[in-house]
Amino acid sequence: MLPNRNLSCPHFSVLLLTVIILPCCRIHAQSTHAAGSGSVTPFAYKGMYLGMTIREFSNNYRSRLWKEGWRFQSEASQSELNCSGLEHCTLESPEVDGLKAEPAFTRGGRLYFLKLSGFSSERSADFVTAFTKKYGAPLQSTKKYQNGFGALYSGQEWNWVKLKGLSLLSIEENCRALETPCVTLVDYRLAKQSEKEESQTLTLE
């Protein structure tokens, strides 16, 4: 807001201020509208974010992950469009012992799923702390599971939700398939699209 003393200026001064200020206001309004025009920042880890294209993933790998020491498990995925057309695409972390990142793309080349696994239970708290700082407090609950041998066990689960549940970031102390901790990021809209693409491919075959 302009100081009150500006209101007592001669008319030409007020006019000059108006000419200068209005464009600035327009620019600010446009930038504010762009930032809040319904766009929601997607969940991400190490620059890998839901909805990104394979090209963007590849650029992030070369500009960030490679420099930080991340490497693909398979040399076959060392291409310009890393992970394109591969059933399994796994990155190994240089920072957390055993940590693996497994991205999944739709046939149209959009990241709809990212799983982090292979880390110890003690590391779960580190992930919870880091994501809480970034996305706010999660919904926390205790889940009960049963493994293939019939044994029952429980574990904590932390969930961050966006877009009315269509985008999810989850940390499980006991991941169902692994019985070890895992972090999952999933865009359910793109996941549904991927399922549709897969079913169409099976029909054609």
- Per residue in 161-201, pLDDT (tens digit) is 998 889 999 999 988 666 789 999 999 999 998 888 777 65
Does residue 99 sit within a domain? Answer: yes
Does residue 180 sit within a domain? Answer: yes
Which residue range(s) make up the domain with 179?
Answer: 44-204
CB atoms under 10 Å from CB of 201, counted, come to: 10
Q: Which residues of the chain have pLDDT under 50?
A: 1-37
Please count the residues of the chain. Answer: 205
**What H or E segment, with its residue span, contains residue 103?**
strand 100-105
Pick from 187, 194, 204, 195: nearest CA to 107: 194
Our CA dihedral for 194, 200, 201, 202, rounded to 10 degrees, sits at 110
Does residue 19 sit within a domain? Answer: no
Domain count, the chain: 1
Does residue 195 sit within a domain? Answer: yes
Conformation bin of residue 83: beta by default, left when phi > 0, alpha when psi is -120 to 50: left
Does residue 32 sit within a domain? Answer: no
pLDDT given at position 199: 77
